[in-house]
Amino acid sequence: MFDDVANTAPGRVSLYSPPVAESIRTLNSRLRSTVLGSQMFEVCALVAAREFDEDFEWTGHAATARRVGISEKTIQAIQFNRELKDLPPKEALMIQFGRALFREHRVSSELYAEIVKTFGQRGMAEAAWIMGDYAMAAVALRAVDQRNPDGSLPLTGGSK
């Protein structure tokens, strides 16, 4: 199990509780193969990282998002809390969904209906679980004051 989870910062934190580490590894692995696909997975991870100002998760997932084809415009809209009007509709909708969950702690009936229409009920549920998984990782990383090992700037662009 050590080899499976020790290659990520959240995994290393979870090793303080091996039974939890195994469950978290399994959950994260399964969430990476949802009906949403790799692009929406990365959008969900970025939204959660941004809402918690979690630099470590942001840095890794921003790079992966670029590799899977998420535009710089979408990444910056998440990073700098920009308006969503000029983004691809599915990406904008997913960001709106995440922002509602994290900021308002609820999703309106209209937004819920649009998410389900676009991604299906399974996709809606999996998006919420992905964001929840990365929120959990952010909390764990904050608990141990995890920093970016490469010295990169915080996701907000300033210094900490």
Is 81 in contact with 74 (CB distance < 8 Å)?
no
pLDDT at 148 over 70: no
Flag the least confident range among 16-25, 103-112, 149-158.
149-158
Q: Taking the model in full, what pTM does it have?
A: 0.85
CATH superfamily of 8-143: AhpD-like (1.20.1290.10)
The mean-pLDDT minimum among 26-35, 68-77, 145-154 falls in 145-154
Instruction: Give CA–CA dist 141/37, Å, rounded.
Output: 25
Average pLDDT (71-80) is: 96
